[in-house]
Chain A
């Protein structure tokens, strides 16, 4: 193994470990993270695999294929995060609304 491979494997392992230790998410999400981490390690350890895959789809270099896939993955992740934020914002709005209505100050009756 070359030094860069040690570095990359270390970084992937660290991110995955951090994710599993700190973020409690749904089972499906955890499986996806596990799969992607294993796939990333495989690509680092066996660079020939990405080159072969690249040639099959007609890209040429493995590094180029990895770049394209990463860009698409990044875009998708952005959308997933945006929809999460939207969901949380809706919940926050409902909460603030309920609070405002429960604390509402109705008109005071005029003294006659």
Chain B
């Protein structure tokens, strides 16, 4: 595989000692480049990462947020000559097996950005807890109003971007607001966005680590404030 078509998987990690090892073991089977951005973890995450010698390791000196960590990983991957960039959460909610399915439309040049969706396949859809489903429906509407993209899912952390899409994106939302921000920026750059099925594994750990339902309100406030103060 030449440099232009190199796939870089960016994994933001903040205090993920319990899951990062398993996530990286899973990812190492894909054969792609792996970039882990340790977002200033204070647990055993750094020492676990040091055991993986085949990955690119970056560390924020302070905790900045998931959006900031993803951006750091993307900037680094672009500088390393990445042809494609995949976003993958560290908490074990994604399956490495879904990555290839997301990359297919990019390799075929049918899309510039591919977003994972947990609502395209009945089997994936049934895994989503009812409360989470309601919040995600509301988030879809918010995303549509802000970006003009009507999607089946919202805030799914699994995405694949072609190089030109990654270059068009620059997160200013350091927190979780980046999931909406990326849609706004992709739409503004008039890039081709498609969705592909991606299962979310609602493990107890991922649910405890992930966003609480109430957090949705904070994300919305962040986004509005960000737009207002730009």
Closest to B76 in A: A101
Q: Are B174 and A89 in contact (CB under 8 A)?
A: yes
Q: How far is the CB of A9 from chain B (nearest CB, A)?
A: 35
Q: Does B61 count as interface, using CB distance less than 8 angstroms?
A: yes
Q: Does A59 count as interface, using CB distance less than 8 angstroms?
A: no
Q: Digit string of B207-230 for contact with A (CB within 8 Å is 1, else 0)?
A: 000000000000000000110110
Q: Does A104 count as interface, using CB distance less than 8 angstroms?
A: yes
Q: Are A79 and B229 in contact (CB under 8 A)?
A: yes
Q: Which of A13-21, A31-39, A40-48, A91-99 contacts the other chain?
A: A91-99
Q: Are A104 and B64 in contact (CB under 8 A)?
A: no
Q: Which of B50-58, B115-123, B158-166, B190-198 contacts the other chain?
A: B50-58
What bracket does the count of chain B residues touching chain A fall in? Answer: 20 to 34
- Residues of the A chain whose Cβ atoms lie less than 8 Å from the Cβ of B225: 82, 86
Q: Does A90 count as interface, using CB distance less than 8 angstroms?
A: yes
Question: Quick one: which of A82, A100, A103 contacts B229, CB cutoff 8 A?
Answer: A82
**Contact A108 B54, CB 8 Å, known A89-B174, A101-B79:** yes
Q: Are A104 and B56 in contact (CB under 8 A)?
A: yes
Q: How far is the CB of B70 from chain A (nearest CB, A)?
A: 11
Q: Are B58 and A104 in contact (CB under 8 A)?
A: yes
Q: Does B108 count as interface, using CB distance less than 8 angstroms?
A: no
Q: Does B155 count as interface, using CB distance less than 8 angstroms?
A: no
**Contact A108 B58, CB 8 Å, known A82-B229, A100-B72:** no
- Residues of the B chain whose Cβ atoms lie less than 8 Å from the Cβ of A107: 33, 53-56
Closest to B171 in A: A93
Q: Does A3 count as interface, using CB distance less than 8 angstroms?
A: no
Q: Is the interface of B mostly helix, strand, loop or mixed?
A: mixed
**Contact A108 B76, CB 8 Å, known A93-B174, A96-B60, A96-B64:** no
Q: Does A58 count as interface, using CB distance less than 8 angstroms?
A: no
Interface residues in B39-83 (C-beta closer than 8 Å to A): 53-62, 64, 68, 71-72, 75-76, 79
**Contact A83 B55, CB 8 Å, known A96-B60, A97-B75, A100-B61:** no
CA of A110 to CA of B55, assembled, Å:
12
Q: Are B229 and A101 in contact (CB under 8 A)?
A: no
Interface centre among A79, A93, A108, by most B CB within 10 Å?
A: A93
Q: Are A86 and B62 in contact (CB under 8 A)?
A: no
Q: How far is the CB of B189 from chain A (nearest CB, A)?
A: 20
- Residues of the A chain whose Cβ atoms lie less than 8 Å from the Cβ of B61: 96, 99-100
Q: How far is the CB of A44 from chain B (nearest CB, A)?
A: 34
Question: Quick one: which of B37, B54, B174, B226 contacts A100, CB cutoff 8 A?
Answer: B37
- CB within 8 Å of B: which residues of A? 79, 82-83, 86, 89-90, 92-93, 96-97, 99-101, 103-108, 110
- CB within 8 Å of A: which residues of B? 33, 37, 53-62, 64, 68, 71-72, 75-76, 79, 172, 174, 225-226, 228-229
